[in-house]
Amino acid sequence: MKKPNQDWFNFYVKELEGAQQQTFKAFDKYFLCPCCYLPTLTERQGWNICLMCYWEDDGQDDHNADKVLGGPNHDYSLTEARANFCQYLISYRPSDSPGFENGIKKAELKKQVIEKYNLAMTATTIKERKKLLKEASALLRAIYK
């Protein structure tokens, strides 16, 4: 006899198996979040929550971005979460309270973090890149005080 969630679990594991064969993009010592594409993750597929967009990295990526897998990201596809981040700087829908409101309140600081990351990615010296990444980290800490 199958357990009630066994079908979902088997589906979920099968979907994530495709991600294990990927090479994930990184910048400096961080991996790019699959949702917002910012270097905020210390590992991929490690269930870390991105501090910028709040996507939980369960391994979903481009290969299955249009699917709703359930799990930690509930009823979101990665494609929807990406579109939400582009519009609102958070992966949530406006109807998802209080998460959405909390993310929106921090939009100005998030814009500053994005600017620092973008500058770091085009920095011409290692010293300049490290300085910009340090500034981005300080802003991230300010967001979550």
Over 90: is that where the pLDDT of 33 sits?
A: yes
**Distance, CA of 60 to CA of 78 (rounded, Å):** 7
d(Cα 20, Cα 109) in Å, to the nearest integer?
Answer: 33
Q: What residues pair up with 30 in beta bridges, in sequence order?
A: 27
Other C-beta atoms closer than 10 Å to the C-beta of 91 total: 27
Average pLDDT over residues 18-27: 70
**Tens digits of residue pLDDT in 101-125:** 777 778 899 999 999 999 999 999 9
Q: Does the CA dihedral 26-29-31-36 come out positive or negative? A: negative
Burial of 84 (0-12, 13-18, 19+ CB in 10 A): buried
Q: What is the pLDDT of residue 73?
A: 92
Cα–Cα distance measured from residue 101 to residue 88, given in angstroms and rounded to the nearest whole number: 10
pLDDT tens for each residue of 67-93: 998 889 999 999 999 999 999 999 999
* Rounded Cα distance, 86 and 69, in Å: 21
